Structure 1
Amino acid sequence: MIFLLPALCVAFLASIFTIKVLLPLAPQIGLIDYPTDRKNHNGAIPLIGGISIFTGVLIASTLFIQQSQLLNLYLISSAILVFIGTLDDIYDLRVAPRMLAQALIASIMVFGGGIYISDFGNVFALGNVDIGPFGIIFTMLAAIAAINAFNMIDGIDGLAGSMSIITVLSIAILTLLAGGERDILLPLILVVATIPYLFYNVKRQKTKGKKIFMGDAGSMFMGLTVIWLLTIGSQDNELQTAAFRPVTALWIIAVPLIDMLAIMLRRIKKGVSPFQADNGHLHHICMRLGLTSRQALLAISLLAIVFSSVGILGELLEIPESIMLLLFIALFVVYSFGLQHAWKFTKVLKAD
């Protein structure tokens, strides 16, 4: 941990330097987000936040984290995903090539790194549920789901960044409590590398020419990092024992995961593609209720902190995994019901 402060300083400086360099270049390479019917921001906004965050993580990790095959595969996978996300930001790729790229990244994690989710823990109170090699398929699906969950939730200023910071800090806390002091450097580097982006994205939203967005490159990178850390942290492997139980992972990624699953189910019921964009996400509902973008960000972030805290407390208090799972399922059911009837609720509240 002797390199903690230097590593965080390098991550911060590399991230902010990348923003400074890319701001004037973004319009020249087409890395710009223009207002549309669904995007009511003012003016053309550079989509460089994700690249800056990744650059900070890449440089700080390379310099200060002990090199290993797993770290190298993570950085390679992230680089590929950021590249694909950048192409998507410029050319608006179709769903099929994006999903193919995400599957490739997931296969690198599973087959290259040899990490996958096979032990679900004692979620049914009948002993540990171990799905063995089927965990390979499950983990690839989970990786694609996490990548898209963070991509979908990136709908208002600061939201994807805040969700990432809350989730990654929760992982760091659980890892530290389990005695993994040496394993918290990467999560902390990611958090610090995200701060410059949030400063430009949220704090300077009214300053001409200074606002930036994360872009698909950033939101997908965040999703990959989260699932990578959750998989390592919740599963025993040759190098270390699990830092937390698999069911705890559900709670610390609750908001992006539940929002994605609920809205995809709603789209399927309506007979449209689950990947078809609409205005039914949690942040849209908050703003329909009359909250500003900042207020919605604060409300959703507080909700994510509450859910993460429930997961951490459940871990510390050793609440049975079956109970934690039932509570999570109940949460999902309530959320899905609320999403299905959100417009009725908003009309009633507005009428009052």
Structure 2
Amino acid sequence: MGLGVAGVPLRELGLVLLVAASLTYLTTGVVRAVVVSSGHMAEIRERDVHNVPKPRLGGVAMFSGFLGAVFLADQLPALTRGFQPVTPEMSAVTWGAFVIVIVGVIDDLLELDAFTKLAGQILAGLVMSLLGLTWSVIYIPFGGGTTLVLDPIASTVVTVLLTVTLINAINFVDGLDGLAAGLGGIAGLSILMFSLTVLHDQGGMVSAYPPAIIAAALVGICAGILPHNFEPARIFMGDTGAMLIGLLLAAGSTSASGKIDMSLFGAVDVLALMSPLIVVVAAVFVPMLDLIMAVVRRVRAGKSPFSADKMHLHHRLLRMGHTHRRVVLVLYSWVSVVAFGAVAFSIVPPLIAIAFIVVSAVVAAIFTLRRQRELQPEANTDAITR
């Protein structure tokens, strides 16, 4: 079977990640050549920080990497239990990803209006939910602890709302070279770590395979696009790639929901019991915070919540004195603190997890403030020229 430690197929999941990264990296060059030759370059908008037209549609290469990784996983004996007829979840996420990629490609080429794009996002969430990937169980720690089992309608609504929210959170934060891919990779890695923990604790439970496969593929495609997309980017992932990352994050966290056996934990282990929900919230905390701030800011100004501006977190960090690349690294550091800090509660004792969060947060804060002071003169000039 090729299983790793205690029923965990580490080698197979590693191979899935590697194939996703390799295919994405290789096909990105092909996509870039096709886009450049066809002349479909990204126009420079007022809110952009780049000043040279560059090709979009890097998300198409990411989708090819995802499809290749999923196909490989289905062929590996140690991972086939994550597919039909055992579970429909991998088929559901694949078709949902196909829908969101179609919407993204059309948007990258033709600039869809906000409501049409939103309708496409809802459709992708519905497809994923109706085909069998839904958020079915939520643990509520209050009042002695309650496991809330959602009925089909409620689970569909929750799944679609989560999917649309995460898609837009990643799409909103995709404003600097390599930012969305890095945040998606970090979030995916945190979900993968949680899934591996569940697989280890429960001896290879079948239902824990889909989130592990989804997360491994997500980490792979993000790693594969980064060499092309990190500052200075040679190609943008476009809305196609950003929305694909958001959908896969929603799929991975939805698949991980309800997969933890509460009988394995004591009554005091509330954080461990809530790990599926906490991990995904923590993993996308920074982009979600940016999304909420943007919506509130625009509504208060009497504008559409979907209108664009230059007040996102990365724009603010640029104005604070960081260079383009440093802003991305700063956001990487804070997302890592929150995401891996949440995962730590399901891996190590609470005191160790808290210590890890405190120490890593201090390090991230020092890195953020030190770079701001050191780069202030240079970054101010850079911000003006952008």
TM-score clears 0.5: yes
* 2:330 counterpart of 1:299: yes
The whole-number CA distance in structure 1 between the counterparts of 2:114 and 2:27 is 29
Separation in 2, partners of 1:269, 1:127: 38
Deviations 1:251-272 (A, max 9, x none): 1221111211222122222221
Q: Which structure 1 segments of 5+ residues have no match?
A: 206-210, 325-345
Which residue of 293, 310, 316 corresponds with 2:341? 310
1:284 Cα deviation (Å)?
0.8
1:160 to 161, 180, 186: 180
Aligned-partner Cα distance in 1 for 2:293–2:51: 30
The residue that corresponds to 1:33 in the other structure is 42
Aligned with 2:235 (options 212, 215, 222): 212
Pick one of 15, 21, 45 that aligns with 1:12: 21
Cα distance change of structure 1 residues 124 and 101 upon mapping to structure 2, 3 Å threshold: same
CA contact (8 A) 1:32 1:90 kept: no
User: Deviations 1:166-219 (Å, cap 9, x if unpaired)?
Assistant: 1000001111112256553432232222223111112654xxxxx011100000
In structure 2, distance between residues paired with 1:189 and 1:6 = 10
The CA deviation string for residues 248-307 of structure 1, in whole angstroms up to 9 with x for no partner, is 321122111121122212222222111111111110110010101111001111000111
**How far apart are the structure 2 equivalents of 1:158 and 1:145?**
21
Q: Which amino acid aligns with 1:224?
A: L
Aligned to 1:177: 197
Residues 31, 48 of structure 1: 8 Å contact kept: no
CA shift, 1:316, in A, is 4.1
Match runs of 1:63-82 below 5 Å: 63-65=72-74, 66=80, 67-68=83-84, 69-82=88-101
What is the CA–CA distance in structure 2 between the aligned matches of 1:235 and 1:102, rounded to whole Å? 24
Structure 1 partner of 2:383: none
2:125 to 96, 103, 106: 106
Contact 1:248/1:315 (CA < 8 Å) preserved in 2?
no
Q: Quick one: distance in 1 between partners of 2:39 and 2:131?
A: 34
Distance in 2 (CA, whole Å) between partners of 1:249 and 1:64 is 23
Which whole-Å CA distance do the structure 1 matches of 2:295 and 2:129 have between them?
A: 25
Q: CA deviation at 1:318?
A: 7.3
**CA displacement 1:207-234 (0-9 Å, x = unmatched):** xxxx011100000000000011101112
| Partner deviation per Cα, 1:15-68 (whole Å, 9 max, x = no partner) | 123122222211355542122222241322111321111111101211223242
Structure 2 contact 285–338 (Cα < 8 Å) conserved: yes
1:30/1:90 contact within 8 Å kept: no
**Mapped contact 2:57–2:108 kept (Cα < 8 A):** no
Is 1:130 the counterpart of 2:148 in the alignment? yes
Distance 1:114 1:160, change over 3 A: closer
Deviation at 1:131, TM superposition (A): 6.5
The root-mean-square deviation of aligned C-alpha atoms, in Å, is: 2.8
Is contact 1:233-1:243 (8 Å) kept? Answer: no
1: CA distance, partners of 2:291 / 2:284: 11
- Contact kept? 1:287, 1:296, Cα under 8 Å: yes
Q: After superposition, what is the alpha-carbon deviation per residue over 1:102-134, rounded to whole angstroms, capped at 9, x for unaligned?
A: 111111122221412542x22434422627233
Is 2:298–2:304's contact at 8 Å kept on the other side of the alignment?
yes
Cα distance between partner residues in 1 of 2:161 and 2:214: 24
Structure 2 letter corresponding to 1:303: W
- In structure 2, the CA distance between the partners of 1:86 and 1:139, relative to structure 1 (3 Å rule), is same
Could you say if the C-alpha distance between residues 154 and 71 of structure 1 is closer, same or farther in structure 2, counting changes exceeding 3 Å?
same
Distance in 1 separating the partners of 2:300 and 2:349:
38
Q: How many residues align?
A: 316
Question: Which residue pairs with 1:44 in the alignment?
Answer: 53
Aligned to 2:288: 257
- Cα 1:25–1:142, aligned 2, differ >3 Å: closer, same or farther? same
Q: Distance in 2 between matches of 1:219 and 1:313?
A: 27
Query: What's 2:62 paired with?
Result: 53
Query: 2:20, 2:340 → 1: CA distance?
Result: 27
Task: Determine the structure 1 residue equivalent to 2:221.
Answer: 193
How far apart are 1:91 and its partner, in Å? Answer: 0.7
The whole-number CA distance in structure 1 between the counterparts of 2:144 and 2:114 is 40
1:67-88, CA deviations, whole angstroms, 9 ceiling, x for partnerless residues?
4232122112111211110110
Quickly say closer, same or farther: Cα 1:5–1:237, change in 2 above 3 A. Answer: closer
